[in-house]
Amino acid sequence: MKQSLIRVWQCFDSEQVKKQLLLAGELSANCENCQHLGINFLQSKQCPQCQTEFKYIGFRTKSNKAEELFAIKRLKEKRPDLIIIDYEDIKRACGKSQARNLLDI
């Protein structure tokens, strides 16, 4: 059996995702809920500052495709409890809802 990474599109409440999101850089991550920095995303189940239980993880910056795939594979192995999301989707969704709030639609 050959296991491959297949991306799946799914509907989430973007505000809720943001509240339980770890935003990962190269070596550490920050809590999107309270912006606490320096979190070890390979181990931390919750934020040391606001106690949020992490459910999602996204990458702050995207390196090249090969590095991104390597990072995702490593996460899948080390953190099967986290749902890996594309941070661009959250930025887009939250940007849209902020625009809606501003325009009062």
Kindly list the residues in this chain that would bind Zn ion in the complex (CB under 5 A): 31, 33-34, 36, 47, 49-50, 52
Nearer to Zn ion, 51 or 100 (CB): 51
The number of residues in the chain equals 105
Which stretch of DSSP H or E encloses residue 83?
A: strand 83-84
| Cβ at position 51, least distance to Zn ion in Å | 7
Nearer to Zn ion, 29 or 31 (CB): 31
Residue 51 three-state SS: coil
Residue 23 three-state SS: strand
| Cβ at position 97, least distance to Zn ion in Å | 21
| Cβ at position 73, least distance to Zn ion in Å | 26
Nearer to Zn ion, 50 or 69 (CB): 50
| Cβ at position 34, least distance to Zn ion in Å | 3
Give the torsion sign (CA, 48, 63, 6, 71): negative
Write the Ramachandran bin of 38: left for phi over 0, alpha for psi from -120 to 50, otherwise beta.
left
Nearer to Zn ion, 22 or 85 (CB): 22
